Structures are given as C-alpha cells and as structure tokens.
Amino acid sequence: MEREKSYDLSDGKESVVCSRHWTVYQQKSPKVGNIINIGQRPIKKMQNQINIQYFKTPIGELIIGSFDDKLCLCDWKYRKMRAAVDKRIQTGLNADFVEATSPVIELTKTQLDEYFSSKRTVFNIPILLVGTDFQQSVWKALIQIPLGKTASYLALSKLLSNEKAIRAVAAANGANAISIIIPCHRIIGSDGSLVGYAGGLAAKKTLLKLENALENEQLSLF
C-alpha cells in the first residue's frame, strides 16, 4: 500500500475547527496478503489490523476503529451502507477488523462522552481518511462548518469550486465513515429540511439541537 505524505491542517488557509494530524490513504489496489485455503474456497488474509470497539451513545451505537494510532472509523452500527463502508476501509488499509481497544479508541470515547454532555465543542483526535481524492476533499470541507451552523449540499459544492457536483458531494457526504467528528450531520437541504443521515433523522435532529443549530440560519461558507 502506497502511503501519501502526512500533513497538518492546523495552520494556514486550511485551518479547521480543531488541530489534527491527517494521514491520507488512496484507494489503490492493496497488496495481496496470505491466502488460506478452506476446502476449495481461497480466503485472502489481510496483512494489517484495524482495532474496533462498539460504543453506545445517547442516540445510537457506534463502531469506533483505529489503525496506525489514528481514528479511521466512527460510524453508526446499523446504517444502511455498513457493509460497503467497512469493505472500503478494510480494502484501502489492507486490514481486517479485530475487536480490541487502543489509546485512540479510548480517547474518542472520552471526547464523545464530553460532547454529548455539552462539555466539548471541538474534537482533538488524530484522523485517518480512507477514500478517493474527491471524497477526502468533501470530508475536509465538512470540518470547516463550525458547531452551531449548517450548510446545504449546494454551499458545500461551491466551497469545493464545483457547483455542478451536488450529487457527487451528497454521495461523498453519505460515505463519511467518521460521524460526528467529521460533521456530515450539519448538512441540510436548501429548503431547510434535514434530508438523510446515516444515523437516522431522529439522531441528526438531536445532534443539531445539542449544537444549538436548528434555529440558526444556514452557514455561508464562501
């Protein structure tokens, strides 16, 4: 697996709401690991390990995953795209899920507890993105929407200088694997409707209420 260069988004024009170190993994063809034969069916064994833990929040259960001391997964356990998201991450990192904890997972649990208790407004967790260049650009743009604000798909597309890419932006938003911390719940319809959310509309409404965003006007990102 070829690793892209790591970079810090805490300085300059690409500053986000909290300082974090990003490592970007391109979705290129992974190296094939060992192959174990069970009967006549070969099973590929991944070369690496993603630690995962299940974590219950006041609005639903999350799967939290870490790889290489960074958070690569914080997603709703029962979302519709669960299998597709998991496959993308496992294939991109050439890794299997193993139920075990890690310092990053425990840090994420602590900060989420603080967030739901209204004791934390920004997250300071090392993040690892697994996706295409376009998906990564959308996820990074989402972090620029501050707590207490919302934006539409159109506003997000304009921020990316690609106003015609609304559908692609919406698809990338839906493919976000690090919920809450990368705040895809802050995206609403141009008419103010909540639109879809991986954790369900009830969860999205609760998150926006927690952030005092429901009564605010849509965020102007440009």
Residue where the block lists tokens 């990338």:
172
Which residues 6+ apart lie within 8 Å of 37 measured at CB? 43
DSSP-based three-state secondary structure for 30: coil
Residue type, 167: R
> Which residues have C-beta within 8 Å of that of residue 60, sequence separation ≥ 6?
76, 77, 78, 199, 200, 203
Q: Using CA atoms, how far apart are residues 133 and 129, in angstroms rounded to an integer?
A: 10
Written as one letter, the residue type at 25 is: Y
Asked if 18 is an active-site residue, the reply is: no
Within 8 A by CB and 6+ apart from 80, the residues are 198
Residues 77 and 63: beta-carbon distance below 8 Å: yes
Query: What is the spatial distance between Cα 142 and Cα 137, in angstroms, rounded to a whole number?
Result: 9
Cβ–Cβ < 8 Å for 219, 151: yes
Of the candidates 18, 72, 74, 184, the residue annotated as catalytic is 184
- List the catalytic residues: 184
